Amino acid sequence: MIKKFNVGYKLISLLLCTLTIINAQETEDPPRIVTLPGPNVEGIPATTKVGTYPDSDFTKLLSYSLYFYEAQRSGILPPNNRVPWRHNSALKDGEEGFDLTGGYYDAGDYIKFTLPLSWTLSMISWGGIEWFKGYELSGQEKYLHDMVKWGTDWLIKAHSLETNELCVEVGIDKIDHNYWGSDQNIPLPRPVFKVGDDVHGTDVAAETVAAFASSSILFKDKFGELDYAKLLLTHAKRLFEFAELKPMDVYSKQVPEAILYGARRYQDKLVWASLWLYRATGEQIYLNKARQYFVLFAMKGYMQIINWAEKTCATFILFAQLTNGTNFMDELTWKSESENYLDIMINPSLLPGNRCSYTPGGLLWCTGDSEFNSLNVALNIAFVSLIYAPYATTEEKKKKYKDFANFQIMYALGENPKKHNYVVGVNPKSPQNPHHAGAHGSVNNDLLSPVKTTNILYGALIGGPGVNDDFNDDRTQYNFTEVSLDYNAPWQGLMAYQVLNYIPTIPKPKPPTNEPKKSKDIPSSNNNNVSNNDTPIVSSGRKTGIIVGTSLGAIFLIIGGLFAWKHSTILKWFGKKREEIDKIVKRNNVGNNRRNSSSIHAESNLPHHIP
C-alpha cells in the first residue's frame, strides 16, 4: 500500500513542479540599467543575478564614476592607470619652486581650477564619510582613496604653508579653448594664477579649507592614514587664517582671468569651512565661528540652489548633523532651517514667486541655473536630502526626502519621458557625444571630426536635459553634453548610497495579455533588434495554455504507461478488493434484506482512490 501511495505522491509532485515551471516562465526580471559592456579593466564589479544584494547596477555605476575621475587626471599617471587614452600630460605646469603638475582637468578641456575641485573633494569626502559601506560592498574603497588623494595631493602643492599663497588656476581659457585635441599637444603657455597677502580670495581659500578638513576625516576615520590626515588638517588651519584676512572678497575680482569660476559670495564659504574644521577637530572655536558668521551674514531662511558657487543651504544640513543630540533648542533651530529649505525645494509652490519648479517629467528645475547643468542642480539637492533624512523630525518627512532623491536619481538613469540615460557608457540610451576633447579624439582641432566619439568616457554624468525634458546629444551644445568634476560629485555619493540602501525587487509575474507582441519587441541574440518574421508570435495567454496542456498530457501519458506496465498487478489487486466488498455486503445483509449504503461506507476501510 505504501508503494501505491508513493506513486500517487510522485504524480502530484510532478504536477506541482510543472506549475512552478510555468509560473517561472511567466515572470520577468526587472529591466537592467547597465546593459553595455563596461571598461575592460580591473575594479569593475561583475554583473550579478537580479535580486542579489548589493545590486550590480549601482555597484557598476559607482565604479564608473570613479573611472571618470581617472579620465580627468593630469600629470604623471600611476602604473595602475586604467584609462588607455589618457597619457602623462601638462608636465611643465607651475613655475620655479612651485610644482603644479598633477591634479585634475576641470571639464572637457585642460584648465585646472582650485575652487570647483575643492567643492568636488568636499562633496565626495562627505558622501564617503556617510556611506563608506557602499564603497566597501562594491569593492571601490581603494579607488575612492586614490581619487580623493589625487586631488588633495595637488591641493597640498597648490598651497604654501610658508607664504599662505594659494594657486587658483593653471591655464587660461583664451588659449585653451582654441584647442580641441588630445592631452599630448596641450598649447602653451599655461599661466598660473594665485591669491595671497596682496591678492585676497576669501571664497576660494575657504572652499579649499573645507576640502582639506573634510578629506582629513575620510583618511583618518575610513583609511586609518593618521599622518596624512594630520597634514591635511595642518593645511586647513593655516589656510583658514588667510581666509579670514580682511578685506574679505571673492577671488574673481582680484584674479579676473578666473571669471569662468567666479562666485558671487564668500560668506557662505566661511561658514562651510568653519563647520568642516569643527567636524575634523572637535574644537569648539570653529563651531562658534560658524554661528557668528551665520548671524553676521544674515543667512537664516536663505533659499538658493547648492553648487560650487553657493552652499549656504548646505550649511543648514551640516549644522543639523553636528548639533544633533546636543542642546535641544540648538538642535531644533538647525533642523527647522533644514526642513524649511528641503520642504520648499521639494514643493516649490510653497514659496510664492519661487524660480524653482519641475519639468513635465519630474526633474527639479531652477530657472537661472538649470539651463546650463540641470542634473547637477537637482542632484545636489537630492544629495543633501539623503544626508539629512535620518535626522528628520517625522517619519513622513524622512520618507518624503528619500522619495524625492530617489526620483531624481532614477530620472537621470532613464525614468524620464525621453527614456534617456544621462551617464555615459551605461546603455544604448546613454549620451554618445559628451563635450570632452580627450574622449572625442579629434586630430585636426575640430569638434565635428570625427563624427563619432573615439573613446568612451565611462561614468561621466553630463549636463542634462532642457526645461521640457528635451535633450540634444550634440558635443557642440555644452549646456546639454558638458561634463565636469563637480557634476559627478553628488552623483558619486548618491551611487554609494544606492549600493548600500537599494533593495532589489523580486521579479513580478507578467501581466496576462491576449495581444501578440510585435516582432520588434522580441530581443535578438545579437542585440541588433533584428526580428525573424517567419517565427510565429504567441501571446502569453496562449503560451500558458500550451504549456499547461502539454504538461497535463504528459502526466496522463505517464499514468497510461504505468497502467500498461503493471496492468496485470493492478487488475489482480482490484479483483481482490471486489471479493472483500462482496463479503462485507453479504455479512451486513444477514437479518436485513434492505441494503444501507451509508453503513457500508461508514464501516468499510476501503481506500477512496485507485492505486
Give the burial string for 140-163 (b: 16+ CB within 10 Å, else e).
bbebbbbbbbbbbebbbbbbbeee
Active-site residue, 482 included: yes
Q: Residue 210, class by beta-carbon neighbours within 10 Å (0-12 exposed, 13-18 middle, 19+ buried)?
A: buried
How far is the C-alpha of 601 from the C-alpha of 611, rounded, in Å?
19
Q: What are 591's three cell numbers?
A: 437479518
Those residues whose C-beta lies under 8 Å from the C-beta of residue 481, and which sit 6 or more positions away, are 431, 433, 434, 435, 462, 463, 472, 473, 474, 475
Q: Exactly one of 26, 249, 371, 473 is catalytic; which is it?
A: 473
- CA-based nearest residue to 317, from 384, 400, 397: 384
At 366, phi and psi to the nearest 5?
Answer: -120, 110
Closest CA relative to residue 357, chosen from 384, 399, 369? 369
Catalytic residue, from 55, 70, 203, 482: name it. 482
Q: Helix 202-217 to helix 141-158 angle, to the nearest 10 degrees?
A: 140
| Sheet hosting strand 166-170, strand order edge to edge | 112-113, 166-170, 192-195
Assess contact for 334 and 319: CB atoms under 8 A. yes
Centroid of chain to Cα 308? 20
Residue 473 falls in the annotated catalytic set? yes
482 vs 153: CA distance, rounded Å: 26
* Coil vs helix vs strand at 480: helix
Cα→Cα distances 256→195, 265, 611, Å: 12, 15, 96
Alpha helices (H) in 159-310, listed in sequence order: 173-176, 202-217, 226-243, 251-254, 267-281, 284-296
Active site residues: 473, 482
